[in-house]
Chains A and B, each alone.
Chain A
Amino acid sequence: SQWGEENLQALSIQEGEDVTMNCSYKTYTTVVQWYRQKSGKGPALIILIRSNEREKRSGRLRATLDTSSQSSSLSITGTLATDTAVYFCATDSNTGYQNFYFGKGTSLTVIP
Chain B
Amino acid sequence: GGIITQTPKFLIGQEGQKLTLKCQQNFNHDTMYWYRQDSGKGLRLIYYSITENDLQKGDLSEGYDASREKKSSFSLTVTSAQKNEMAVFLCASSMDNTGQLYFGEGSKLTVL
Contacts and interface: CB of A to CB of B under 8 A. Distances in A.
Interface string A13-43: 0000000000000000001010100001111
Contact of B105 (A5, A40, A102): A40
23 contacts: A1-B59, A5-B42, A8-B40, A31-B99, A35-B101, A40-B105, A42-B4, A43-B43, A43-B103, A45-B100, A48-B99, A92-B99, A97-B99, A98-B31, A98-B99, A100-B45, A100-B99, A100-B101, A101-B42, A102-B35, A102-B43, A102-B44, A105-B42
Nearest to B41: A104
Nearest to A92: B99
A40 B90 CA distance: 11
A21 B42 CA distance: 15
Interface in A87-103: 88, 90, 92, 97-103
A104 B41 CA distance: 4
Contacts of A40: 105-106
A58 B4 CA distance: 25
Interface residues of B, number: 26
A48 B100 CA distance: 8
Secondary structure type dominating chain A contacts: strand
Q: Is the interface on chain A under 10, 10 to 19, 20 to 34, or 35 or more residues?
A: 20 to 34
A92 B101 CA distance: 12
Contacts of A103: 42
A42 B92 contact: yes
Interface string B46-63: 001010000010110000
Contacts of A81: none
